[in-house]
Amino acid sequence: MFIVKIILGLIGLGVVVFVHELGHFLAARLVGIEVEAFSIGWGKPILKKKVGAVEYRLGMFPLGGYCKMRGENEFQEAWENRKKAVDPVPGTYFGVSPFRRIVMVFGGPFFNLIFAVLVLSIIWGTGFEVSTLDNRIILASEISGDHLYPADEAGLKTGDRIIGVNGKKTPYYHDIQENIAVNPEKNLALAVERDGSVLDIEVRPSLDKSTGAGKIGVYFWTDPVISAVTGPAAAAGLEAGDKILRVNGEAILYTVEFIKILEQSPQELTIDYERKGAAAQTVLIPAYTEKGEADLGISYGIVQYRNPPLNPFAALVKGTQETYKTFVVSLRSLALLFRGIDLTQAVSGPVRITYMAGDIAAEGFGQSFGTGIRSMANFLSLISIALCMMNLLPLPVLDGGMIVLFLIEAICRKPLNPRAINAFQTVGVVLIFGLMLFAVFGDVLYLIHR
């Protein structure tokens, strides 16, 4: 399964990188920069065919691709020959105006945004199932017992329903989490239903330094009614539809109460349950992983609803809105990197992204083919937006850094000195290489933990 996840992840990540390079390719053709080669995948070409002036290649490693433009490395030759400027040969990278180069450079990130809009529009246009939880909460302090959380300080109670956040309705768990996660250390106005009344409660999510997300210290309520059994639960005779009443003599009102019981790593669990109105009891022998995590073989009921398909125009509008919202959230998340969060957890490199893409796809395909495709497409749209945003950062080597260089050239109205370009690019290579090493180190730790 691990290999399958990696393969699925490589395919997905390759699609996003290919779209980026396709944007550069088409933009280059648009502004008059000649393209010498366009490759799907990296490494030695296993297939290649020249059409006009462009050689189209299929690389040995089918991950992403690249676009090689005529004269893009001429600044290095000029620097080595100690020239003060690159000779502007028509049709080459430095032979067009700075603004044309900006259009070409921006083409890659722009295509990533277009890709995200199209993918999300298709998802909304075809409709999709949503699996989520109820909006009823449980205070984490009642489970862990270690300290108080923002939810406790705000006066929330177990059993409350959070029906609104900052004026937006939150009928389900994911609606609440979405608003809390992106607003760490910001005051949020909650509409809370308690005992038939609606209360206005203000809460300030804390910053989870391991993820960069906001949290208030709540779990979400799931009734302890079994929806499916495997392994240990099946061996114990439990069935779908059974309601768990007590475990080792302790009453179970909601499923997260299992956390306290399983912290003691019990070798067996005495389970009292109700089946079709009759009480019964059984003994369940948990299975434990190498990391000491308990597997009971029990699944619980979740809330499922279907977002109906939208017409093409409405789907396009929704896809655009979702892309914009994700882009803004990504920018906010980038700012959190400078607020003391655990970078080894919050910064993902290509290894972790590949695994996560494959993991999400494999989990989705485990439910159904359609769910797998939608899950993979949704994640790829997120990665595509992130790739767009990261490439637009004004850092050397990245597209944003090149745009800054070309803007300076346009403002100064004279060609850039090859020595300055080389120094700028060298600094960028060192920065990006260092960041990649750091990210891959975090990725390895992540996979070991997995």
Three-state SS string over 47-113 comes to EEEEECCEEEEEEEEEEEEEEEECCCCHHHHHHHCCCCCCCCCCCCHHHCCHHHHHHHHHHHHHHHH
> Would you state the structure tokens that stand for residue 154, as one six-digit string?
């705000």
What pLDDT, on a 0 to 100 scale, did the predictor assign at position 420?
72
Tokens found for residue 59: 């690389």
- DSSP SS3 for 136: strand
Say which residues have a Cβ less than 8 Å from residue 77's Cβ, sequence separation at least 6: none
Give φ, ψ of 261 to 5 degrees.
-70, -40
Please, which residues bridge with residue 287 across strands?
A: 295
Catalytic residue flag (residue 21): yes
The predicted pLDDT at position 373 comes to 65
Specify whether the CB–CB gap between 151 and 140 falls below 8 A: yes
Q: How big is the CA angle at 300 (ends 286 and 146), to the nearest 5 degrees?
A: 70
Q: Which pTM value belongs to this model?
A: 0.73
Amino acid at 424: F
Query: Phi and psi of 443, rounded to 5°?
Result: -65, -40
Return the pLDDT at 273: 92
**Considering 21, 34, 74, 322, which one is annotated as catalytic?**
21
Give me 315's structure tokens. Answer: 């789907």
Flag residues of the chain having pLDDT under 50: 343-344, 347-369, 438-439, 443-444, 446-448
pLDDT at 434 (0 to 100)? 60
